[in-house]
Amino acid sequence: MRYERIKSLLGDDFSKLHNAKVLLLGVGGVGGHCLDCLMRSGLVHVTIVDFDTYDESNQNRQLWSELHEGEAKVEALKKHYSHVEIINVRVDEQWVWDFDFDKYDLILDAIDDTKAKLALAQKCYKKLISSFGSAKRLDPTKVQVGDIWKSYGDKFGSKIRYELKKRGFKKKYKVIFSAEEAKVKEKGSFVGVTATFGLVMCSEAIKTIISK
């Protein structure tokens, strides 16, 4: 049976995965590996949101990208994970404020847009798991999980914390971050780190779902 081994691991809690409704925002280097992990773990009700298309530069870190160059990511991923629901739209600040998140049990944030991440924190912190920067790093063992105010070592995360404080936001929510110092200033990425972020996000999602 496809899920026999995850069922052996989770026991009766496996049914919680089958019933959970998860919204995954962003299916690039982090989100794509998170999605694959969710699907292989038995989740059924997963909705993915992204507006981007695959190009050659994605192929060092993004699952399935070499097979679907030029295609919309959500449309391409639907071919591999047939029961996912897809929304082909840019996740920006206004979309976050306008979208109804109520029917989802968990919101997984794998986007890069700062203002959208801030809006997500303010609107969805009670059921949010957010990824900080996975680029410019080489050491997957430095990837950590903690609440937003205990994260460190990441300029992107520092900016998010600063902006949340400016907005008077004091709540806690879970973030995935790397304590490793960035190796370069320009764009650079290693699948060993980006995939780890995605797999850690999947793991935290599963632990959150079965704890309820």
pLDDT of residue 135: 86
Q: Give 94's contacts (C-beta < 8 A, 6+ positions apart).
A: none
Q: Are 184 and 136 in contact (CB under 8 A)?
A: yes
Q: What is the pLDDT along the chain (212 residues), one digit of tens a residue?
A: 789 999 999 999 999 998 999 999 999 999 999 999 999 999 999 999 999 999 998 888 888 899 899 999 999 999 999 999 999 999 999 999 999 999 999 999 999 999 999 999 999 999 999 999 888 899 999 999 999 999 998 889 999 999 999 999 999 999 999 999 888 888 889 999 999 999 999 999 999 999 98
Give the chain as a DSSP string. Answer: -TTHHHHHHHGGGHHHHHH-EEEEE--SHHHHHHHHHHHHTT--EEEEEE--B--GGGGGTSTTGGG-TTSBHHHHHHHHSTT-EEEES---HHHHHHS--TT-SEEEE----HHHHHHHHHHHGGGEEEE---TT---GGGEEEEEGGG--S-HHHHHHHHHHHHTT-----EEEEE-SPPS-SS----HHHHHHHHHHHHHHHHHHHHH-
Q: What CATH number has the domain spanning 4-211?
A: 3.40.50.720
Backbone angles phi, psi at 184, to 5 degrees: -140, 165
Backbone angles phi, psi at 173, to 5 degrees: -155, 165
Residue count of the chain = 212
pLDDT of residue 202: 98
Q: Give 28's contacts (C-beta < 8 A, 6+ positions apart).
A: 50, 52, 58, 61, 62, 73, 110
Tokens of 142: 């430095």
Alpha carbon dihedral 17, 30, 94, 123, in 10-degree steps, equals 50
Q: What are the extents of the domains in the chain?
A: 4-211
Question: What angle separates helix 155-166 from helix 114-124, to the nearest 10 degrees?
Answer: 60
Q: What is the pTM of this model?
A: 0.96
